[in-house]
Copies of this chain bind each other. A is one copy, B any other.
Amino acid sequence: MRSTSIRSIRRAELSRAAFEAVVRYGLRGTTLDKVGEIAGVSKGVVLHHFKDKSALLEAVFRRSNSLLSESAVELYRYAETPYERFWAIIVANFCDTIFNRRVCQAWVSLISEVPHNDQCQRIQYACNERIRTNLEHELKHFLSPDDTKRTARHLGMLIDGVWVRAGLMPDRLTSAEAISEMEYAVAKLLPYDEISATKHKEARKKIETIADIALGSKAFKEKSLQV
């Protein structure tokens, strides 16, 4: 198993280097030489581990998305009520660790690979579906079946929109601002009387606190993109 291990370590190193290259130089400025340079190896090594540039970018894309997914899973472990699980999904998408200018810009660059790369398209589709079904699972505690579906789809699109903005706009969009944007939507889309408002707020606070600790921890970051 050592051999597979070496391979997967190298692949991880290289896809991290490629991510860094996309952050620094943009997608069009990311060359195999630069990726190699960042990783401290020659271009040949990159192509030895990835069949071509598309495969490399696909790995970067998968890596970013799986980090997102891991954050959600991690926060889910501590969420005990539908309110908390709901906010776990939201906060996972916008916690400091992964929601920042560099990552959002890189994401914006990388999605341009999706339309002409079936593998990337599958990853993106799976990721969206996961968020959607997770949201549905919690929303059905608050909404009718029909509204559950609509609202889940809707929030999914809104999340994408916030990410795009954060990546495209010159002024930085903070984690807190993004979450507050979602909170605004929730207040309008879900039943929101005084009682549920309090519950939402408490749930969000708890999850945010956990996110700071659990996702900011060294152990978790080691698995991450390490930005």
Show the binding face of A for B, using Cβ within 8 Å: 25-29, 53, 105, 108-117, 121, 124-125, 128, 150, 153-154, 156-162, 164-165, 167-170, 181, 184-185, 188-189
Interchain CB contact under 8 A, B27 and A168: no
Interchain CB contact under 8 A, B111 and A150: no
Interchain CB contact under 8 A, B116 and A108: no
18 A-B pairs within 8 Å (CB atoms) are namely A25-B116, A26-B117, A27-B28, A28-B112, A108-B115, A109-B115, A111-B112, A111-B167, A112-B112, A114-B168, A124-B169, A150-B184, A154-B158, A157-B158, A157-B181, A159-B161, A160-B160, A164-B164
Closest B residue to A27 using CB positions? B112
Cβ distance A144 to chain B, nearest Cβ, rounded Å: 13
Cβ distance A65 to chain B, nearest Cβ, rounded Å: 12
Interchain CB contact under 8 A, B113 and A170: no
Interchain CB contact under 8 A, A28 and B113: yes
Interchain CB contact under 8 A, A115 and B161: no
Interchain CB contact under 8 A, B113 and A111: no
A27–B22 alpha-carbon span in the complex (Å): 15
